[in-house]
Chains A and B, each alone.
Chain A
Amino acid sequence: MENSRRDLGPLPGPDINADARTYWAAAAEERLVVQCCDECGIYRFYPRPLCPDCASDQATWTEVSGQGRVHTFTIVHRAPNKEFQAITPYVIALIDLDEGPRMMANIWATTPLRWPLATGSALSSKSAMAAPGCRSSSAPGINQYAPQQGHYRWRW
């Protein structure tokens, strides 16, 4: 992806319902949180009241490392709305968090991503991606990011 194409601008914020509220509230503070089951200890995503493994209704929101690996990705040329059209082509990926759960994300990279180069590429969110809900003018723009040692930055 060319840096010059990336004027990140405000992307549409997420729709939020009661299940999603805690997650996105943390994301707005640039913290990545997922639920961890109090009974079986399994991390789950997306958030919901019952553990899909043991059906326990007891869980604790837990901040996770933001480290993960790319399971798959696509470079999108046809976007659903004008905000995303403005930044095509962009990358959507499925990320396996080191803690276990899989989630969807955008990857911002300054060099073209090519499979299988990115297979299992390590990811880090420690560089504080702007969450979709974060519209603060101080939100970091993509131009600040360069790949480091095969690590890609991602926006969750």
Chain B
Amino acid sequence: MLRNKVIIAGVGDSDIGKVPDMSGLALNAQAAKRALDDAGMRMKDVDGLLTAYSLTEPYFMLGTVLAEYLGLQPTYCASLVVGGGTPGAALHHAAMAVTTGQAKVVLVTCGENRATGQSRDEAVNALTQVGHPYFENPYGPLVPAFYAMVTQRYMHEFGTQREDLAHVAVRARHHAVRHPNSPMKSEITVDDVLASKPIAEPLNMLDCCFISDAAGAFIVTTPDRAADLANRPAWLWGIGECHTHEHITLAPSLTEFGAVQSGSQAYEMAGVGPKDIDFAELYHCFTIVPIIEAEELGLAERVSGGELFASGETAIEGRLPINTHGGLLSYAQAGASGGIHGIVEAVRQLRGGESARQVPKHDIALIHNEGGVLSWHCTMILGRDKR
């Protein structure tokens, strides 16, 4: 039971977009430095380090490499690999580490130079790593094809409309252009999404996240440090995970995933329900994903996730703002960084003062990360105050 035992003391992200002058490790270092500054801590305060993986700089022991790169000699250190869900997993592990005393201050950082650190062929090739090497890849899928098959089935069973999907992308962009660090500067329309190049039907180019150079970081510690921090911390109220499969071929269902389970664990630990959530940062590598997650997490009725986005309720000023920074679709996606920007954004929103994109009610945030093909789920609930 982790409620009220863990705080996120600081958050940061690196320069984002195309950053050819920085290596992947440098992006992580920059995000880490900014998160430490945000917390009012120094590198030597860090005794635990968790990171993810890098396709552009595939070091064998990335956690240890990053510790060396940062000049750390931590007592707790690992690289975790659960795809886009890695930041959530890292928060969960870090929370357990600081509550058991394995470490006092855990730095979590994820990201890589996915946009400029590899050739286009390498980037496309990286997208085949999610497929089963012996029983899926022989048929020519890239990651969008897997999500397209989920989308197709979802539309078939629940009547989700192509326009609903487009609205998810339009909303994301609308939020991203309000973020000072966003590489996306111009709005898009539903027609733009529907007219963009088909990638794997029914998904078009603007239904898919773009790849970036990006890293994000956050600092996990215990509440006894709260008084010394430079900024207001966020409190961990609840967290849950669920893993149902790795490859889409073995997914128990293409319409019911593990977010129900991870969400109910997080809600139970937090002692709140979906109606208590003020805003949410959902994973959205493809437009179908936040629709599914909103439904599974009880933020929308089953079948009406699409309407939630189409109706405008998820706008900054709406009933339930979602993906207030633009998410993976319009802010950044660099390997495992996609989910970490949602955590960073939630902490900033909880504090308040994010000007153009500040949500009006900001006491309770829900963040959801997923990895693989909706394979691995982590739901996090953070509070502005102690629960």
Of residues 1 through 25 on chain A, the ones whose CB sits less than 8 Å from some CB of chain B are 11-17, 19-20, 23-24
Known: A80-B140, A92-B141. A104 touches B125 (CB 8 A): no
Task: Tell me whether A73 is interfacial, beta carbon within 8 Å.
Answer: yes
Query: Of A13, A17, A92, which one neighbours B145 at CB under 8 angstroms?
Result: A92
Does the CB pair A76–B249 fall under 8 Å? no
Does the CB pair B140–A74 fall under 8 Å? no
Task: Tell me whether B387 is interfacial, beta carbon within 8 Å.
Answer: no
Alpha-carbon distance A116/B272, docked complex (angstroms): 39
CB-nearest residue of chain B relative to A16?
A: B134
Alpha-carbon distance A37/B158, docked complex (angstroms): 35
Query: Of B136, B145, B248, which one neighbours A76 at CB under 8 angstroms?
Result: B145
Residue in B138, B197, B202, B203 with the greatest tally of chain A CB atoms within 10 Å: B138
Task: Tell me whether A146 is interfacial, beta carbon within 8 Å.
Answer: no
Alpha-carbon distance A102/B249, docked complex (angstroms): 6
Known: A76-B141, A78-B200. A71 touches B136 (CB 8 A): no
Known: A46-B249, A72-B150. A14 touches B134 (CB 8 A): yes
Question: Contacts of A78 on B, CB cut-off 8 Å?
Answer: 124, 142, 144, 199-200
* A88-111 Cβ-contact flags toward B at 8 Å (1 or 0): 011011100000001111100000
User: What band does the interface of chain B fall in when counting residues whose beta carbon is under 8 Å from A?
Assistant: 35 or more
Known: A94-B149, A119-B156. A74 touches B200 (CB 8 A): yes
Of residues 22 through 60 on chain A, the ones whose CB sits less than 8 Å from some CB of chain B are 23-24, 45-46
Alpha-carbon distance A105/B134, docked complex (angstroms): 12
Closest chain-B Cβ to A127's Cβ sits at a distance in Å of 18
Closest chain-A Cβ to B322's Cβ sits at a distance in Å of 26
Query: Of B135, B140, B148, which one neighbours A90 at CB under 8 angstroms?
Result: B140
Residue in A12, A24, A74, A116 with the greatest tally of chain B CB atoms within 10 Å: A74
Question: Contacts of B127 on A, CB cut-off 8 Å?
Answer: 80
Closest chain-A Cβ to B199's Cβ sits at a distance in Å of 5
Does the CB pair B135–A46 fall under 8 Å? yes
Known: A72-B152, A72-B156, A73-B149. A79 touches B134 (CB 8 A): no
Question: Contacts of B198 on A, CB cut-off 8 Å?
Answer: 75, 77, 89
Residue in A16, A45, A46 with the greatest tally of chain B CB atoms within 10 Å: A46
Residue in A12, A16, A104 with the greatest tally of chain B CB atoms within 10 Å: A104
Question: Contacts of A89 on B, CB cut-off 8 Å?
Answer: 198, 201
Task: Tell me whether B194 is interfacial, beta carbon within 8 Å.
Answer: no
Does the CB pair B201–A106 fall under 8 Å? no
Task: Tell me whether B137 is interfacial, beta carbon within 8 Å.
Answer: yes
Query: Of A13, A77, A105, which one neighbours B139 at CB under 8 angstroms?
Result: A105
A-to-B contact residues, CB < 8 Å: 11-17, 19-20, 23-24, 45-46, 71-81, 84, 89-90, 92-94, 102-106, 115-116, 119, 132, 155
Q: Can you list 10 A-B contacts with CB-CB less than 8 angstroms, sorted by A residue number? A: A13-B138, A16-B134, A46-B249, A71-B254, A74-B145, A80-B124, A94-B254, A104-B139, A104-B249, A106-B139
